[in-house]
Structure formats: C-alpha cells, structure tokens
C-alpha cells in the first residue's frame, strides 16, 4: 500500500507541528511495511528526493504568507493524479480546500483529511484568509472519504458542526531517555538550568506573556525561546525588544535534530502559554522527554496533560508568574509531574499505537471503495 501526504511543508522537519506529525507518521508507516510519498515545498526540502525511506516530491510554491500552502497543494494535486497511489492523506484545513480537484480525476482513490486545528483562529491571518480556511474546513469535512481529528475537542466540534462522526486519533510521541549535554553549550546551557518555550513565534502563542511573567521572577535559570518567524517578523522584533534588557532570555531560532533533542532533554520545565492550539505536538514531545509542563488552561492543552501537568489561566500574566514561581521553588513536584507526563505518553500517545490506528483507517477506506466500485477498480488494476 502506498500513501501520499499533501499539505505539509515537507520533510525532513525544520519547524512546524504538522511537519513533525507527517514525518513521524511516515517513518512509522514505513516501519510497518507501507510505502510513503510526501509532497514538499522546493525551498523546504532543498532537492532531497528520499529521506529515511520516504519518497520526497518537491514542487514549487509561491513564497508568501497567504499563497504558499495553497499553490504547493495545487501542484501536488495535479501531480498525484498521474501516480499510482492507494490512499491520499490531506493535512490541515487550508490544503483540504482542494480535495475536490483530486476527487474529480481519481474518484476511486480514498481521500483522508487530517483535521489538525482551526487555523482561522490564528492572529496572523487576515479576513480573507480566515474565510478561505473556514471554506477549506468545510470541503474537508464534507468531501473526504474519512476525517481524522487529532483531539477530542475537534471531534466534538466536527460532530456538532457537520453532523458526521470523525475518527479521533491523537498525535503520537515517544517516551525518551536523557541524552548528554553537548551542542546546547553554545548558549551556556546545561542540565536543568533553563526553562523552554518551543514553537513558532506567532502572537496567538502568547510568548510575550511568558517573557513578561519571567522578567518578574527572581531566578538564576534562563528562559530559552526555540522557534522562528512564520511571516511574523514584526512580532519577533517585538519579542526581542521586550527581552533585550534581560540577559537570561535566549532566542535560538528554529532547531531540529540533535540540538532540539538536547534542548528538550535538559530543560527544567516546558511552558505552553498559547491562547489557541490544536493538540500541540511540541507539548506531547516535551511530555515524552519527561518534562513537567506548565500550560494555559485552554481545552486542547488540558486534554494533553490531564493530571500530568500544571495549568494557569490563559492570558493572566499574574497567574502564569505565580505558577512559574511555584514550579521553580519545588523541584520535587517538577520531577513528579515529569515522570507522570512520560508515562502518559507511553500509555496514550505512543507512535506505534497511533500509526497502527491510522493504517487501519487506510485499509478500511480502501475496502469501502472496493465495495462501492468493484468493476472500476478491477479494470484500473489490470
């Protein structure tokens, strides 16, 4: 069985939760004996045609905030029409807007839509982009053969809004063991001497709130902000201006691979202050590394941590400061929460189990198509 993924920036992952999801899922499926093709934006994959067994197809995209994803998705849809693919898996609501195009030319190929989050709530988008994202959500939920949602919050939303029963399969993560300190020494970081935020530097993530709270705390630990701009250069400048008078605050830009793993492994605490999220990949990965997690009390974050983390009132800098101070003063509680978080990943979010569920969805979708179009499928298969 060969699966094509459409809508992500590409592989190998440089940044982005959807990209980390697709890469980890693709590698898990390959380990299960499937073939995987991932469409990539040419600037992102930089000419790579194969990555750890994943076939990478790089296509042009218009490099702009509003049109990059949709132009790349359009060319991916045209390309996939001419390939022998068993299942096509669209990622995210923007790319899902073009599902109809593939269905016209490949009516017997199952199309899966993975609904990650309601991106139109992100503050970087203008009115037109938000309306288009809402349109893409509707197309995905109405015309995909099966809809996978990555959180129980989205499962409830899709049922109520579109009257369908989506398939809830959360993101995956791995329970990790500590690795040696090496590359992070470039920022004078060592084991347990810093707390981290990891993610895109966009306003709805509320990093400015975290900086404001941290600056009011007396601590020798550093605040490490890992991530880069997502067409949000003005916001990044705002963050750096807010932090410039506190040399405890460090910006590392986007990191991946060994460096990112070290940053996770040796952090004292992970903070997720967002006002909106899907089920955060970075949060689950932090939990897998055994980090205590302090998160805003939005439903998606609370779903992720359950009783294996601590929350603060979203948007409340005073509550964030108080919870940060509590955790900085109580390393025993931090260790307890970290152990509970790792165990939660083992039992609820482990990648082998997640990949197995998704593979079952793929097989079921093929079986359904074969029942509906047996003669056409036999003819095509000759």
Answer for the pair 118, 96: CB distance below 8 angstroms, yes or no. Answer: no
Summarize pLDDT for 5-25 with one digit per residue, the tens: 999 999 998 877 899 999 999
Residue-range domain boundaries for the chain = 2-172+350-381, 183-348
Residue 45: per-residue pLDDT = 87
Superfamily in which the 2-172+350-381 domain is placed by CATH: Glycogen Phosphorylase B; (3.40.50.2000)
Summarize pLDDT for 232-276 with one digit per residue, the tens: 999 999 999 999 999 999 999 999 999 999 999 999 999 999 999
Instruction: Give 286-333 as a DSSP string.
Output: HHHTT--EEEE--HHHHHHHTTSSEEE-TT-HHHHHHHHHHHHH-HHH
Q: Copy the structure tokens of residue 144.
A: 């995909």
Superfamily in which the 183-348 domain is placed by CATH: Glycogen Phosphorylase B; (3.40.50.2000)
User: Does this chain's domain 2-172+350-381 share its CATH topology with 183-348?
Assistant: yes
Across the range 178-205, mean pLDDT stands at: 95
Summarize pLDDT for 20-78 with one digit per residue, the tens: 999 999 999 999 999 999 999 999 988 899 999 999 999 999 988 889 999 999 999 99
The answer on pLDDT for 209 being more than 90 is yes
Cα-only R_g, the chain: 21
| Closest C-alpha among 155, 177, 152, 181 to residue 166 | 155
SS3 3: strand
Exposure class string for 85-94: b at 16+ Cβ within 10 A, else e: bbbbbbbbbb
pTM over 0.95: no
């Amino acid at each position: 069985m060969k699966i094509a993924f459409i809508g992500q920036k590409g592989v190998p992952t440089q940044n982005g939760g959807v990209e980390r999801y697709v890469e980890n899922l693709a590698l898990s499926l390959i380990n299960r004996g499937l073939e995987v093709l991932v469409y990539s934006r040419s600037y992102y994959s930089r000419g790579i045609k194969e990555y750890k067994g994943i076939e990478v197809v790089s296509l042009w995209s218009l490099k702009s905030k509003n049109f990059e994803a949709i132009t790349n998705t359009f060319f991916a849809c045209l390309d996939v029409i001419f390939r022998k693919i068993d299942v096509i898996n669209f990622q995210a609501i923007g790319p899902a807007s073009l599902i109809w195009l593939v269905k016209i030319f490949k009516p017997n190929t199952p199309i899966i839509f993975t609904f990650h989050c309601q991106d139109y709530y992100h503050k970087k988008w203008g009115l037109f982009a938000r309306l288009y994202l809402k349109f893409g959500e509707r197309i995905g939920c109405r015309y995909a053969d099966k809809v996978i949602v990555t959180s129980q919050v989205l499962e409830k939303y899709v049922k109520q809004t579109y009257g369908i029963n989506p398939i809830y399969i959360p993101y995956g993560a791995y329970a990790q063991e500590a690795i040696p300190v090496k590359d992070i020494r470039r920022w004078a970081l060592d084991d347990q001497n810093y707390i981290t935020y990891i993610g895109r530097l966009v306003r709805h993530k509320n990093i400015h709130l975290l900086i404001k709270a941290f600056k009011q705390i007396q601590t020798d630990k550093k605040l490490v902000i890992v991530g880069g701009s997502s067409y949000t250069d003005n916001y990044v400048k705002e963050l750096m201006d807010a932090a410039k008078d506190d040399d405890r605050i460090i910006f590392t830009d986007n990191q991946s691979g060994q460096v990112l793993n070290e940053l996770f492994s040796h952090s004292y605490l992970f903070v997720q202050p967002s006002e909106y999220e899907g089920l955060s990949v970075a949060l689950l990965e932090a939990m897998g590394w055994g980090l205590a997690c302090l998160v805003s009390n939005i439903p998606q974050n609370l779903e992720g941590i359950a009783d294996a983390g601590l929350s603060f009132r979203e948007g409340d800098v005073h509550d964030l400061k108080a919870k940060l101070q509590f955790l900085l003063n109580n390393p025993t509680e931090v260790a307890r929460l970290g152990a509970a978080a790792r165990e939660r990943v083992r039992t609820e979010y482990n990648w082998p189990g997640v990949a197995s569920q998704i593979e079952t969805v793929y097989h079921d979708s093929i079986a359904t198509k074969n029942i509906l179009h047996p003669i056409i499928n036999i003819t095509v298969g000759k």
